[in-house]
Amino acid sequence: MNPPVSDSNGLSVENLSVSFGGVQALRDVRVQVSPGEIHGVIGPNGAGKTTLFDVIAGVVRADTGKISLGSDVITRSSPTARARLGVRRTFQRAQVFGHLSVRDNLLTAIEWRGGGGGVLADVLKRVPSRQQLEVERQRRVDEVLAMCELEDVASILAAALPIGRARMVELGRAIVDEPRLLLLDEPTSGLDEVETERLAQIVRMVAAGEKCGVLLVEHDIAFIMSLSDSLTALNLGEVLADGPASDVIASTAVHDAYLGTGATT
């Protein structure tokens, strides 16, 4: 039985199934994430974690099921429409705009909102409201560059960065426009200990605003337990257990399928 659908502003995934040819990647999956909540997704390789993110972000279509964000049903919405509603993600393999500077990687995430002031402002550029907006955007980008400790590389092309810092650029780009739902797919892979701790602080900060829910896939059980309020454990596309993080970790089904094997993926 699925839990009752929350009427909050959060994410609700119900009865979600996806198959790729003969492979059932997700079967009857449910996930609820409230604003301010950090919800971890665990499961061995091939469990369906990335597919779940792809379906929520809109790049893979659900065969059946329903996805909503607050009162908006987004099951059939385009990835762009979802992004406009505040869905942001990072990828299992970091994806940055390599040909843009680090600063511009972040700016692109807010420039889509346009300059305001209409066509006249486009022509004149010096319209005060337009200039004010630009100042505010640069201020927000500066704030996130500082948060992600990227100030020293702000003008460097993102392609030139080592993986750990590229991941922080990806994270910065995902949070600069103040998301409503943040999807992080194995965000610590390639990070050193200091970067991992920084990432954890940023994720806590984003959730602490109570406006954004975070869905987090991670290999490192200690890391995911240190951050998550609640968990979903997947195996072979099915929910093995969900609920408060400590209950899920203690569940026999999760131990048998996953933790008991010594797997850390």
Ligand X SMILES: Nc1ncnc2c1ncn2[C@@H]1O[C@H](COP(=O)(O)OP(=O)(O)O)[C@@H](O)[C@H]1O
- Residues within the interface to Mg ion (CB under 5 A): 49-50, 92
CB of 19 to ligand X, least distance (A): 8
Q: What does 47 bind: Mg ion, ligand X, none (CB cut-off 5 to 8 Å by kind)?
A: ligand X
Does the protein bind ligand X through residue 23 (CB under 6 A)? yes
Q: What does 45 bind: ligand X, Mg ion, none (CB cut-off 5 to 8 Å by kind)?
A: ligand X
Q: How many residues bind ligand X (CB under 6 A)?
A: 11
Q: Segment contacting ligand X (CB under 6 A): 20-28, 98-106, 162-170, 249-257?
A: 20-28
Does the protein bind ligand X through residue 22 (CB under 6 A)? no
* Residue of 103, 256, 83, 96 whose CA lies nearest to 177: 83
- Contact string 39-78 vs ligand X (x = CB under 6 A): ----x-xxxxxxx---------------------------
Our CB check for ligand X shows the closer of 48 and 179 to be 48
Strand partners, 68: 12, 73
Does the protein bind ligand X through residue 36 (CB under 6 A)? no
Question: With contact defined as beta carbons under 8 Å apart, do 183 and 90 qualify?
Answer: yes
Please, is 1 exposed, middle or buried when counting C-beta atoms within 10 Å of its C-beta (0-12, 13-18, 19+)? exposed
Report the SS3 class of residue 212.
Answer: coil
Our CB check for ligand X shows the closer of 11 and 47 to be 47
* Residue of 69, 36, 85 whose CA lies nearest to 203: 36
Q: What does 51 bind: ligand X, Mg ion, none (CB cut-off 5 to 8 Å by kind)?
A: ligand X
Beta strands in 99-237 (DSSP E): 181-185, 213-217, 230-235
HSE-CB at 214 with a 13 A cutoff on CA atoms is: 31
Question: With contact defined as beta carbons under 8 Å apart, do 239 and 264 qualify?
Answer: no
Q: Which residues bind ligand X (CB under 6 A)?
A: 20, 23, 25, 43, 45-51
